[in-house]
C-alpha cells in the first residue's frame, strides 16, 4: 500500500493538540483475551473518537487463536458494543477505526515467532505512517513475559534506547510483576537486559481512576487540605478495596496468588504512597515517582515474629450475596478442598517519617464481601475539647462517654461512584442546639456533565505520550515486595502445610470479613468504617 493510502483521523480537526501523540503502532499480545475485549480496545476506540490519537496509527492483535484481519475486526466491534455501551458508536467512525486493526496468530515462544510481526510492522510504517514507533502491550499470562521479551529482542523489535531517541519503543507490562521478591528481581533483570527502565510501563489500572489522579490535585492545589495532611491533624487512614465477586473461574490463578499478592502488594501500596507522599518538586514523572518511592521505603519493616500483630488473613465460606446463596472458596472450581489461600487480607502499616510518625494506615481487601467498593478514608483527630456536651443526640440507655463529637472524615471514593465526601458537624435547625453529622459530597458522574474516561484510556494515552507518572517504577515494585515478604513467607508456610494452619473459612460470604480484622484495628483504639 502506498503512502497515499494512509488512514487519517478526521476527528482531530479543530481540537487542541498541546499533548500530541506521535504516530505509532501498538501490538497487543494476548488480543483474544478478556482484557483486550473489555478494556483495551474500548479504551483505544474512545481515545480515537475523542481525538486523542494521532492522525496516523495502527493496532495489531496477536494471540494463539487463528483468525484473519476481518474476523478480528468483527470480534472487536462486538466487544465494544457489548462492554462499552456508554461510548458513542457510529458505523462510519468505526469503519475508519477498524481499517487500522490487523491480526497475526502466534504462540509467542517459538524461535522466529515474531518475524512475521517485524515484516508487518515495517509494512505499516509505510502504509499507515506509524513512523516506526512501537508499543508492545503484554496482556498475556505472566509466564509468557520473559519469552516474549526474548523473542521481541531476537526479531530486533526492541532494544535499549535513549529517552529522546526516535523512533521509540515501549513495553506495557500487566501485573503481577513477579510472584515474590526473587521472581520480580529476575523478571526485571530479564527486561533490563533488553530495555532501559524508561521504556518499561508497569501498568496498575487503579492509578488511572479519576479519584486516584485527583489525590494530588486535592492535596497540592488546595491551601486548606495540605496544612492538615500530617500527624498533627490526622488520626489514622483506612483504605478499603472490597468485592462481592468470588474468584470467578480463576481458581488455579488465585490458589497461587491469594489476596496479599493480588491486591495488597500492588494496588493498595500504590494508593498508600499517593496519599502519604511529599509534594513533588514538579509534575515531571520522575519527580512524582521519586516521592512515592520514598513513602514505600519508609514503611516500617514487619518482623517475622510480629506478622500476627500486623496482618490478618481470611477465607470466605458459604453465604449470601444480594440474597443469593453462594459457595465457599473451597467449593469453587479448581480450588483445593483444604486450601489455605487467603481471599481477605488486612494490614496495619506504619510510615516512619516526620509527616506520618505514629499515624497508622489500615488497608483491607477481600472477595465475597458485603459490597463492592474502593475508598480511601482520612480520619482527622477529634476536636480537643467538646463544648457541646449533651447536644450530640444521645439516645436513651447510651453512656455519657458516647456523647463525644465524632472526628471529621474525608473520603475519596474510587469506585463504583467516583467522588469525594467530607463529614462534618452542623447544628440541626430548631430552638435547641442539637449536633448532627452531614456529608458534603462531590460526584464525578454529575459534577461535570461529561463521560469520565476509563482508567485504561488515561494510562494508554500517557504511555503513548511517554508520560510514566502513573506507572510503577522498578525500585517501587522491589520495595513493595520486600515490605510484604515476611507476611508472604509466614502465610506461604501454611499453604505448603509446613506451618500452622489457619482456621479457614473464617468469614461468611456477604459479611465484612473475619472478626480478627476487627480485633486488629481495635488494638489501637479504632474501628473499620461502616460502609
By annotation, the residues acting in catalysis are 267
311-314 vs 344-349, strand pairing mode: antiparallel
Q: What is the dihedral of CA 85, 86, 90, 91, to 10 degrees?
A: -20
Distance from C-alpha of 301 to C-alpha of 349, rounded to nearest angstrom? 9
Point out which residues pair with 324 in neighbouring strands: 321
Q: Which residues contact 387 (CB under 8 A, 6 or more apart)?
A: none
Phi-psi region of 30 (alpha: psi -120 to 50; beta: other; left: phi over 0): left
DSSP state of 266: I
Could you tell me if 61 and 30 are in contact, meaning their C-beta atoms sit under 8 angstroms apart? Answer: no
Cell of 5: 493510502
Cell of 182: 526473587
CA atoms within 13 A on the CB side of 321: 19
Residue 324 vs residues 315, 365, 497: alpha-carbon distances, Å = 19, 22, 33
> Within 10 Å of residue 24's Cβ, how many Cβ atoms?
25
Separation of CA 186 from chain center: 23
Amino acid at each position: 500500500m502506498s503512502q497515499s493510502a494512509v488512514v487519517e483521523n478526521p476527528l482531530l480537526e479543530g481540537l487542541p493538540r498541546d499533548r500530541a501523540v506521535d504516530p505509532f503502532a501498538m501490538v497487543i499480545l494476548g488480543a483474544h483475551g478478556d482484557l483486550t475485549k473489555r478494556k483495551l480496545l474500548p479504551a483505544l476506540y474512545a481515545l480515537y473518537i475523542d481525538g486523542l490519537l494521532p492522525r496516523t496509527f495502527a493496532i495489531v492483535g496477536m494471540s494463539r487463536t487463528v483468525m484473519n484481519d476481518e474476523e478480528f475486526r468483527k470480534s472487536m466491534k462486538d466487544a465494544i458494543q457489548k462492554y462499552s455501551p456508554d461510548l458513542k458508536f457510529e458505523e462510519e467512525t468505526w469503519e475508519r477505526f477498524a481499517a487500522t486493526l490487523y491480526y497475526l496468530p502466534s504462540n509467542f515462544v517459538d524461535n522466529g515467532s515474531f518475524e512475521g510481526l517485524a515484516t508487518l510492522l515495517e509494512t505499516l510504517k509505510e502504509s499507515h505512517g506509524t513512523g516506526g514507533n512501537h508499543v508492545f502491550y503484554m496482556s498475556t499470562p505472566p509466564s509468557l513475559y520473559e519469552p516474549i521479551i526474548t523473542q521481541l529482542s531476537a526479531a530486533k523489535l526492541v532494544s535499549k534506547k535513549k529517552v529522546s531517541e526516535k523512533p521509540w519503543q515501549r513495553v506495557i507490562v500487566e501485573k503481577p510483576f513477579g510472584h515474590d521478591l526473587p521472581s520480580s528481581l529476575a523478571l526485571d533483570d530479564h527486561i533490563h537486559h533488553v530495555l532501559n527502565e524508561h521504556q518499561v510501563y508497569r501498568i496498575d489500572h487503579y492509578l488511572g481512576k479519576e479519584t486516584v489522579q485527583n489525590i494530588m490535585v486535592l492535596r497540592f492545589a488546595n491551601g486548606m487540605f495540605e496544612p492538615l495532611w500530617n500527624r498533627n491533624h490526622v488520626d489514622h487512614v483506612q483504605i478499603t478495596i472490597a468485592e462481592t465477586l468470588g474468584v470467578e473461574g480463576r481458581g488455579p490463578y488465585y490458589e497461587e496468588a491469594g489476596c496479599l499478592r493480588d491486591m495488597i502488594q500492588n494496588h493498595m501500596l500504590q494508593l498508600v504512597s499517593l496519599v502519604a507522599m511529599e509534594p513533588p518538586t514538579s509534575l515531571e514523572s520522575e519527580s512524582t515517582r521519586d516521592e512515592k518511592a520514598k513513602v514505600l521505603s519508609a514503611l516500617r519493616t514487619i518482623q517475622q515474629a510480629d506478622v500476627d500483630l500486623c496482618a490478618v488473613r481470611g477465607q470466605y465460606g458459604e453465604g449470601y450475596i444480594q440474597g443469593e446463596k453462594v459457595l465457599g472458596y473451597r467449593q469453587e472450581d479448581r480450588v483445593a478442598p483444604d486450601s489455605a489461600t487467603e481471599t481477605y487480607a488486612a494490614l496495619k502499616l506504619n510510615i516512619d517519617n516526620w509527616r506520618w510518625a505514629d499515624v497508622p494506615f489500615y488497608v483491607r481487601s477481600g472477595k465475597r464481601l458485603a459490597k463492592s467498593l474502593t475508598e480511601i478514608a482520612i480520619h482527622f483527630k477529634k476536636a480537643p475539647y467538646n463544648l457541646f456536651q449533651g447536644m450530640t443526640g444521645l439516645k436513651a440507655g447510651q453512656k455519657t462517654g458516647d456523647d463525644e463529637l465524632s472526628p471529621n472524615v474525608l473520603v475519596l471514593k474510587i469506585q463504583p461512584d467516583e467522588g469525594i465526601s467530607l463529614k462534618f458537624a452542623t447544628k440541626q435547625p430548631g430552638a435547641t442546639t442539637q449536633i448532627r453529622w452531614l456529608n458534603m459530597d462531590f460526584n464525578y458522574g454529575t459534577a461535570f456533565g461529561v463521560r469520565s474516561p476509563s482508567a485504561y484510556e488515561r494510562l494508554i494515552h500517557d504511555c503513548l505520550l511517554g508520560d510514566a507518572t502513573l506507572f510503577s517504577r522498578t525500585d517501587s515494585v522491589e520495595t513493595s515486595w520486600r515490605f510484604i515478604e515476611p507476611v508472604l513467607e509466614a502465610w506461604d508456610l501454611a499453604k505448603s502445610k509446613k506451618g500452622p494452619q489457619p482456621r479457614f473459612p473464617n468469614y461468611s460470604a456477604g459479611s465484612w470479613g473475619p472478626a480478627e480484622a476487627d480485633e486488629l484495628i481495635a488494638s489501637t483504639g479504632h474501628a473499620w468504617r461502616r460502609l
